[in-house]
Structure 1
């Protein structure tokens, strides 16, 4: 719980983190506190959105949308990567937030699936950043834009002594099925093109927070793009998944022509230093309808678990359950990545198939 940033604190925090920014006229006194009779704060986190439009500054700052008076955010991030400060008070942006997700943001715990039965007004206590993107799955976030995106979130986290767990996306909090933020990213640091995920944004914010605010991510030294390796792994046979235990997926077949950084019958699918993007397709049998299997990427050094990444959930459906999960991550030197499953059903279920396809860029 923190007192909202003052204009002076906004400026100092963004400047220290290396965020290029400008100030929209009147931002220091703009807000909906008086109009609503509700004071903004205390604050608990940062909520990230995409605009689903272009040149949205006026809409966000002074025009609003039908039935939604401005300001619609505290800051706006266009393609050039220069943040525009829009409002310092309460903004009309978040709407209803699933209470179970809000509580997880406050506690900086992995965000659960939204429980729509209980909600809170996110406008009371979450900062908002609107990032310019059409939201059509094709419009690309620029490299400069994503770099400022990471720095902006890190600046507010550092100001309030929060971790990256205080960073969330509208798709994670909304009870209305909002899909944002989403879309392809041009690149970041040494990383080439990748698909935006909140898990990756939080990982990049966490990396910044592990350094001084003046830190800059290393950039690629190569003069030509590095060709990725193709990894295509699966199971020869299904296996049983007991209830209540984290179990590693042991991939037992490789379908590509070149040898990858893994051995046959191994839970390791990539070794660092590397970055990768791809999918994991899972099919379960005997998972009761509505029951859950949790899926997560986990980093190891040797046999020691070093870091767990945010959880994805697979929910049982009639007649067998299928789910494809997007994978995007970066792995440091000396670490390996594994996929782990937790069967939360009381029943023993079968992992009928698991197919992992990824492009892996090795780093020096």
Structure 2
């Protein structure tokens, strides 16, 4: 559960991940917020468009249809891998879905239940990417497009400290939809997991590489496994330097409840509240801490 990214934060996250972004006029204030809540957000939903041609697809997703006003997503991912931003806020992309699927996504379970009910408003809880494809099982998915889907999903997951389990397909949300067709969501989540584990966001040197002044975010899952690492020690020292220590003795290298309590203090210092200040590191708060890179 998280507060939606601002327009600036979303663009920055996508570009840092190496995504080619096109911002369409008015997208920052183009939304359906007057019709319902936008957030807290819990995941990313992937769709196919059943359209051909990038310009026509972007126009449709921006403007919508007579029976469904736009925006129909937050970003359109074209065949060439470009992400076209068309909306910021509530978008008409997810519709009603299963509350049990939402609960499994929030918990980041590796297996989702089969959707049976249309009881929960997904437009409140999910970022949506419409991917240009006819959805007939024959229209190809170019590698550039699959890579962009991976990068865009990973960018949002990094920003919120989510794992790949927070990325679902429309067909996993409701039994009334089949998208995406042409690749499996399991294969996409595997790609996203690999990217998050590699720390491969653009402009972020790998841990220990020459010129890496600060430690890149290791990923939310890394901390939940209670690691024993010099990174934990370096983090603890930075938390103490920022006046956010809950340690009774020196920090690290083993992750403990004291590390989590200290990190929660840091999150509150940054202005986070509620579940956003639960002590589990996320990308934004981690980058702000400026933990020295492990050598």
Tell whether the structures are fold-level matches, with TM greater than 0.5. yes
The match for 2:26 is 26
Is 2:29 aligned against 1:42? Answer: no
- Aligned-pair CA distance for 1:215: 6.5
Give the Cα–Cα distance (whole angstroms) in 2 for the partners of residues 114 and 149 of structure 1. 23
Asked whether the 8 Å contact 1:16–1:213 carries over to 2, the reply is no
TM-score (normalised: structure 1): 0.53
The match for 1:81 is 81
Is 2:185 aligned against 1:182? Answer: no
The match for 1:201 is 188
- Aligned-pair CA distance for 1:80: 1.1
The match for 1:51 is 49
- Aligned-pair CA distance for 1:136: 1.0
Structure 2 SS opposite 1:210:
helix
Aligned length: 199
Give the Cα–Cα distance (whole angstroms) in 2 for the partners of residues 41 and 133 of structure 1. 28
- Aligned-pair CA distance for 1:115: 2.5
Give the Cα–Cα distance (whole angstroms) in 2 for the partners of residues 160 and 57 of structure 1. 26
Q: Deviation string for 1:280-307 (max 9, x for gaps)?
A: xxxxxxxxxxxxxxxxxxxxxxxxxxxx
- Greater relative CO (CA pairs within 8 A, separation 6+): 2
The match for 1:94 is 94
Asked whether the 8 Å contact 1:208–1:215 carries over to 2, the reply is no
Structure 1 SS opposite 2:190:
helix
- Aligned-pair CA distance for 1:99: 1.0
Give the Cα–Cα distance (whole angstroms) in 1 for the partners of residues 178 and 125 of structure 2. 21
Is 2:193 aligned against 1:164? Answer: no
Q: Deviation string for 1:167-191 (max 9, x for gaps)?
A: 0001111132x111011xxxxxxxx
Q: 1:203-352 alignment to 2 at 5 Å?
A: 203-214=190-201
The match for 1:69 is 69
- Aligned-pair CA distance for 1:25: 0.6
Give the Cα–Cα distance (whole angstroms) in 2 for the partners of residues 123 and 215 of structure 1. 29
Between structure 1 and structure 2, the one with the greater Rg is: 1
Structure 1 residue runs of 4 or more that deviate by more than 2 Å after TM superposition: 213-216
Quickly say closer, same or farther: Cα 1:125–1:160, change in 2 above 3 A. Answer: same
The match for 2:116 is 115
Is 2:127 aligned against 1:127? Answer: yes
- Aligned-pair CA distance for 1:207: 0.5
Q: Deviation string for 1:109-155 (max 9, x for gaps)?
A: 12111132x62000111000000000111100111111111000000
Structure 2 SS opposite 1:145:
helix
TM-score (normalised: structure 2): 0.65
Asked whether the 8 Å contact 1:61–1:70 carries over to 2, the reply is yes
Give the Cα–Cα distance (whole angstroms) in 2 for the partners of residues 61 and 71 of structure 1. 5
Structure 2 gaps of 5+ residues are 204-295
- Higher share in helix: 2
Give the Cα–Cα distance (whole angstroms) in 1 for the partners of residues 17 and 155 of structure 2. 6
Structure 1 SS opposite 2:68:
coil
Asked whether the 8 Å contact 2:15–2:202 carries over to 1, the reply is no
Asked whether the 8 Å contact 1:77–1:149 carries over to 2, the reply is yes
Give the Cα–Cα distance (whole angstroms) in 2 for the partners of residues 66 and 83 of structure 1. 25
Asked whether the 8 Å contact 2:116–2:174 carries over to 1, the reply is no
Asked whether the 8 Å contact 1:32–1:92 carries over to 2, the reply is yes
